[in-house]
Amino acid sequence: MDRDGFTLAAQYMVLFPLVGALIGLLGGAFVWMLEFFLPSLIAAALGLGILLLVNGAQHVDGLLDFGDGIMCHGSRTKKLRVMRDPQTGPGGFTLGWIVLSATAFAIASLSQGVVVRALIFSETAASFSMVFQTWAGKPAHRGMFSFFSAAMRSNGNARILASSIILLLVGFATLPGIGLIVTLSAVAVPLIILSISNHAFGGITGDVLGATNELARLTLLLVIVAGMRWV
């Protein structure tokens, strides 16, 4: 994506949760159909693959880079340099393997009757996590994230409010019984990662934003799986 592409995407970042809902609908419907013919774990793994491919695997790339950066010992400058390295190190590989494997297992744990609604809500909330983190954080350096940060600084409170309304409406329409818990998790995850990133890198980068999406999706699915046992 070139400079103009980043600028355009940043201007419409408030709609990320809505895009997430559509992606979740696609992935959820795919898993739902596959479960008529395949074991749930295989259907879940393929459904997760659809979610990742629709996003162009950009968020996974950020997750791997984030893992490498966090595991790197040294100054912030060194950590940022490691994150920009195209090679994936053991930290990124391990984090990616754990997160993606656990995500597939979480999807497989959902019943066929709820998997579509759960993926719609989890993708919506994961996308909101990126919006919230952009609103709350600051760039670690002049890079891709800077475009999104600058856009959120313009009428930022109105933008985060609009994005929050989309999240709440989707939550009420899909999983009203545990919607509040999922919503709170969609705020907690980016705040925790923001704290880690501020300490390690001095702010947020595009890779951190992508990692937040992947980590938030896993966390939210785990919350939904646990919550469904009590609802």
Q: Does residue 130 belong to any structural domain of this protein?
A: yes
| The pLDDT value given to residue 109 | 93
Q: Does residue 215 belong to any structural domain of this protein?
A: yes
| The pLDDT value given to residue 6 | 59
> Could you report the per-residue pLDDT of 22-67, keeping only the tens digit for each?
999 999 999 999 999 999 999 999 999 999 988 877 888 889 988 8
> Could you report the per-residue pLDDT of 116-155, keeping only the tens digit for each?
999 999 999 999 999 999 888 887 777 677 777 777 777 7
> What integer is the mean pLDDT of 1-14?
64
Q: Does residue 231 belong to any structural domain of this protein?
A: no
Q: Which residues pair with 204 in a beta bridge?
A: 139
> What integer is the mean pLDDT of 89-118?
92
Q: How far apart are CA 170 and CA 21, in angstroms?
A: 8
Question: Would you call 139 helix, strand, or coil by DSSP?
Answer: strand
How does DSSP assign 171-221, residue by residue?
HHHH-TTTHHHHHHHHHHHHHHHHHHHHHHHSSB-HHHHHHHHHHHHHHHH
pTM value?
Answer: 0.90
Question: What confidence category does residue 176 fall into, taking pLDDT thresholds of 50, 70 and 90?
Answer: confident
Residue 194: burial class (beta carbons within 10 Å; 0-12, 13-18, 19+): buried
> What integer is the mean pLDDT of 13-17?
86
> What integer is the mean pLDDT of 176-187?
86
Q: Say yes or no to pLDDT of 101 above 50.
A: yes
- Domain with 156, as residue range(s), is 3-226
Question: What confidence category does residue 2 fall into, taking pLDDT thresholds of 50, 70 and 90?
Answer: very low
| The pLDDT value given to residue 3 | 53
Which tokens is 55 given? 């996003």
Work out how many domains the chain is built from and give that number: 1
| The pLDDT value given to residue 24 | 94
Q: Which helix (H) or strand (E) holds 33?
A: helix 16-34
> Could you report the per-residue pLDDT of 64-96, keeping only the tens digit for each?
988 888 888 878 788 888 878 778 888 888 999
> What integer is the mean pLDDT of 170-192?
88
Q: How far apart are CA 81 and CA 201, in angstroms?
A: 10
Q: Does residue 116 belong to any structural domain of this protein?
A: yes
Question: What confidence category does residue 5 fall into, taking pLDDT thresholds of 50, 70 and 90?
Answer: low
| Mean pLDDT, rounded, of the chain | 86
